[in-house]
Amino acid sequence: MRAGRQHLVDLGAPHTYIAKLPANEAGSFLATGRWRECAHALRSALGTNPGVMADVDTRLVAARLAAWQGRQAEAEAHLGCAEEMFAVAEAFLNPSFDAVRAEDHLAAGNPEAAYAAAMNGACTEGAPPTMCEWLLPLGGPLPGGPHPTGGRHGESPGRTP
């Protein structure tokens, strides 16, 4: 992605497109466990004025990284900033809020809220949200273990979407 971003810079592509790439790059690094590279890409993205959607994506990745590293207050602050910015950009669809919110709740030790966030994203009408593939594992029970809402594997969670 770095080479592609540099190529876009060399071609004179619009800044908002170029600025979104560090957020995508950071998300890829995070998903593959490359935390240092993720943090570096986030610094690059947060150090510019990327535009609303790139900034929202950057904040969501930053929230995930902070939650995964046990920095709950920072994760919630990034998520709050992303939600505030996204409220201004209602025309855009499918951000990964529910998946990030579910991960944040899991990191905070709140599986019930994680389940609710995951199921909200998985069951909302319309196009599937970004990171929808992360929602079902976050919302489901551990094999043979208790369901986050108190039931056992295979039982109805008691919530109708």
Residues paired with residue 152 on neighbouring β-strands, in sequence order? 146
Query: Is 81 a residue whose pLDDT tops 50?
Result: yes
Q: What is the pLDDT of residues 15-55, one digit of tens each?
A: 777 878 888 899 999 999 999 999 999 988 888 777 888 88
As a whole number of angstroms, the distance between CA 101 and CA 135 comes to: 10
Range with the lowest mean pLDDT among 7-11, 67-71, 156-160? 156-160
Q: State the pLDDT at residue 144.
A: 58
Residue 84 C-beta-side C-alpha neighbours within 13 Å: 7
Q: State the pLDDT at residue 66.
A: 95
Q: What is the pLDDT of residues 105-123, one digit of tens each?
A: 988 888 888 888 888 887 7
Q: State the pLDDT at residue 158.
A: 39
pTM of the model: 0.71
Q: State the pLDDT at residue 79.
A: 93
- Mapped onto helix, strand or coil, the DSSP state of residue 132 is helix
Q: State the pLDDT at residue 116.
A: 87
